[in-house]
Amino acid sequence: MRIQSRRAVWIVVLLGFAGALALSAQPHLVADLHWERVPADLQPRLSGGVEHEGVLYFSGHDPQHGAELWRTDGTPEGTYALADLCPGSCGGLVEPLGFFAGHLYFRGDDREHGIEIWRTDGTVGGEELLADLCPGACGTEPRNWLEWRGALWFVIGQALWTSDGTAENTKPAADLCGDLKICGVSPESIVLPGPNATDEGLFLLLYSTDNPHGALFRTDGTVAGTVLLHRFANPILTAAEASGRYYFVDGSALWTSDGTPAGTRFVRNLSELVPGFVFGVLSRVVDGIFYMLYDMGDWLRSDGTAAGTIKLARLDFSYPGRFLIAQIGGVVFAVTEDGIWRTEGTPETTVRFDAPRSQFGLVVERPNRLFVQAYDGNDFIWSTDGSANGYRRLHLNGPPVPDPEMAGFGEGVLISRGYRDLWRVDGAGAGAEPVHDFQPANEGSGPSAQVVHEDRLLFFSLVGHERSQLFSSDGTAAGTAAIGPPGYESPFDTESPFFRPQFHRLTRVGSEAFFNAFYASRFWATDGTREGTRTVKPGASSYVSFGMTAPIGLVGGGFVFGANLRFNPHACDYGDAEPWIRDGRGTRQLVNLNPFKYESSQPQCDKLDASSSPGPGVGVGRIALFPADDLVHGRELFATDGTKSGTHLVADINRNLEPNPEFFPPHPEYGPELAGVGSDPTDLVRAGSNVFFVADDGRTGRELWVTNGTRRGTRRLTDLVRGRASSSPHDLVAVGDALYFFAPNPGGAARDGLYKSDGTEAGTILVSDLSGGSQARDLTLVRGKLFFAAFLPETGTELWTSEGTAATTRSVTDLRPGPRGSQPQNLKAVGARVVFAAEDGTSGLEPWSSDGTREGTVRLGDIAPGVAASSPGPFSVANGQILFGADDGEHGRELWAVPVAEVDP
């Protein structure tokens, strides 16, 4: 008894010691590899912002948070992020909707609920989900937002919804087809003009999918209160609503409506004023007067009577289609690239305003001035108060920038120029001052495409705006250096997917690592040293661009991989991706699995070589298994022993055929007239002597399969979702000879379960239903124990663990109490612990570690102090260090480290 007691004491002491070490772990910056300032990814979206009580709420973007909800009062200290809806740099895709009952409502996606309605009290971290209207990650994407009768109204799909600001009273008011009998309407065609709506009902302008001409309805949300006001005979040109009256143009006929059938009447045929039938029309209601501006320069107005519908002027447009209607008080302006016109509603008061002829972008109205962002070789803002001498021109520093943003604020405007800075222009249009810089001075290096090789981390890092190099690091500044390609820096264009860093495809194989460089097409190998970093030459064709597309696996002493030859994104030939091998005999193509041709979309190009696009795959025994598309069978499972004769189809799982789109005109070089559909094997994982994968046989959907590399040994294990529907197993992880994975619970709709398989149908079983959880992901093995993230409505996404039984499958801790969830990500096994990134609601997305207990789950420092997010990960272990990328807000995203001994003693 004493021995057992002493053992228990020592266990407690050791656990406490481990927890203390984890708490004392402090990540440190390894090296600042890139200190150059480069353009940010996105810019603030000011034009969609909402101004309220001297504060503008808008979608802002910085490297630490991505696109999130920001606020500004026009001062540097009053400009900051309010929420990090999607923790880290992923961005919450926010869009402000409007204020209601003291809260700002906005659309956003936290990656748990999809795009839903959120609200905030205006304080940092004060956001909350209004309701999960589509349970799970599906989202609802609400639109056409307005306040009416003391409630919120909006549209989701083909339903009209209402809310009083509580979850229980956020519900559909009417289904457009089932309840209101308005059928054949596409979701994109529903428009709720606002913010003005009559007490009798809302105007609904609907474009029918059956009739593109559409119809106008009024509804109070009930069948009895839904009235057809007008059915359009022609495509809708323009429509505008204000103060309970609706104006619209049907063909060349002007109509108006007060929301009743009797009050919906024809006003005048506009062809009497405008010759011909013109499509480009802009309209606006100002003080009850309907103004129309046609793209050929005719400016009309109407008071709703035939006599009051007249032409104001014929404007001279040099740039048809570029015009806007604006107002200051009772004065209406037509803004064009040939200058401004103004009117007080009569031909006599309609005159051209003395303003610069320039290309304009944005127009913002304020109570006393009109602001226009324009450019004539340089960006500038001009403004006017409407008087002859009230024009002012404010030059902005630098050349024109793409897609500037401008929004009204106070008496003046806020403007963002490019992807970086926010400026405030005063109400007189006389001066501008900086408010906030969204782009840090130090952009950071990445890092990207990292692997561990010979106990060192190999990774690509930016060393300039469009330059990257391969680095090696032991976790210290002195031990971090560029290793190649020697004397070569691989450029990439951030706007092109061909040149982005993730296309380096860094892969470790045995004693070497392989990667692409030089426009993602040259194939290189390295032993981890500068001297040992060299181009891999494909035999006699060494002068031709050659790059790796996907790793397949080791076969004997060789590395089999997918690669392309003649890869050139600027020419007709994008390369013929086929299986290759690198062994003691050199680097060569194994076989051309898809020998057929296809017609280029560019008439100047010859017929191009089709690709089988092999991989990724896995080695098992003396062969490697991989998916590929030979066109005859479609994308199916293949095997190779490293020879041409030993590369063959394993099984034609989906025998269905479909027309070959290239078989016209008929010719043998285009392949068969009917091509194979293919089962598209994915997620190949070896467990013991078996390889598990996911495929679709054309009858039972995407389900779990197993193979030993032979046709007879390839079989579907189970049909978890009966019939043609798919269970789509994911996160396949081998534990010894067994496989664990996630798939839907039986009859559990979108709810996930943890499954286990021993390679037999009877041995493929449900381990746990995860207490009704969903969105399970990142299944990670840590010394026989599984860790993963899963979502519950009451806790959000949190860290879970399992030892392979229902009794041991549980949530580790509610790291961020409440329904938001800490959203664990980038899980990595480090000794007996898992290291991951998570957001606890107070310290931003930061590194954590856990031993699977609540007490043993601790944060590893606060790299970006306070609520800012350092967004750490992915994590790798080399030379006794946990290495990862992180952004501390000062150095940009760089390489950081924390000793393994401080995390897992």
Strands 833-839 and 80-81: unpaired
- Using CA atoms, how far apart are residues 485 and 471, in angstroms rounded to an integer? 10
What is the tens place of the pLDDT at every residue in 662-695? 777 777 888 899 999 999 999 999 999 999 999 9
Is the pLDDT assigned to residue 322 strictly greater than 90? no
Residue-wise DSSP of 467-533:
EEEEEEESSSSTTEEEEESTT--EE--TTSTTSSGGGG--EEETTEEEEEEHHHHEEEEESSSSTT-
Supply the pLDDT for residue 7: 45
* pTM for the full predicted model: 0.84
What is the tens place of the pLDDT at every residue in 270-280? 888 887 655 56
Hey, CA dihedral for 471, 474, 480, 481, is it positive or negative?
negative
What is the tens place of the pLDDT at every residue in 450-495? 999 999 999 988 877 667 789 999 999 999 999 987 544 444 333 3
- Using CA atoms, how far apart are residues 328 and 309, in angstroms rounded to an integer? 22
Among 65-69, 494-498, 683-687, 748-752, whose mean pLDDT is lowest? Answer: 494-498
Pair 787, 780: CB distance under 8 Å: yes
Supply the pLDDT for residue 5: 44
Pair 579, 591: CB distance under 8 Å: yes
Beta strands in 680-751 (DSSP E): 682-687, 690-696, 702-707, 715-716, 730-735, 738-744
pLDDT-derived band at 629 (thresholds 50, 70, 90) equals very high
CA atoms within 13 A on the CB side of 867: 12
CA angle 60–65–69, rounded 5-degree value: 40
What is the tens place of the pLDDT at every residue in 148-159? 778 898 888 878
Is the pLDDT assigned to residue 22 strictly greater than 80? no
Beta strands in 121-209 (DSSP E): 127-131, 143-148, 151-156, 159-163, 171-175, 202-206
- Using CA atoms, how far apart are residues 20 and 112, in angstroms rounded to an integer? 33
Average pLDDT of the residues in 45-60:
90
**Eight-state DSSP code of residue 537:** P
What is the tens place of the pLDDT at every residue in 826-885? 999 999 999 999 999 889 999 999 999 999 999 999 999 988 899 999 999 999 999 999
- Using CA atoms, how far apart are residues 663 and 185, in angstroms rounded to an integer? 38
pLDDT-derived band at 538 (thresholds 50, 70, 90) equals confident
**Eight-state DSSP code of residue 718:** -
> What CA–CA distances, in Å, run from 599 to 607, 614, 669, 670, 678?
5, 21, 11, 9, 22
pLDDT-derived band at 209 (thresholds 50, 70, 90) equals very low
Is the pLDDT assigned to residue 808 strictly greater than 80? yes
Most confident range, picked from 126-135, 419-428, 433-442? 126-135
More confident call, 113 vs 216? 113
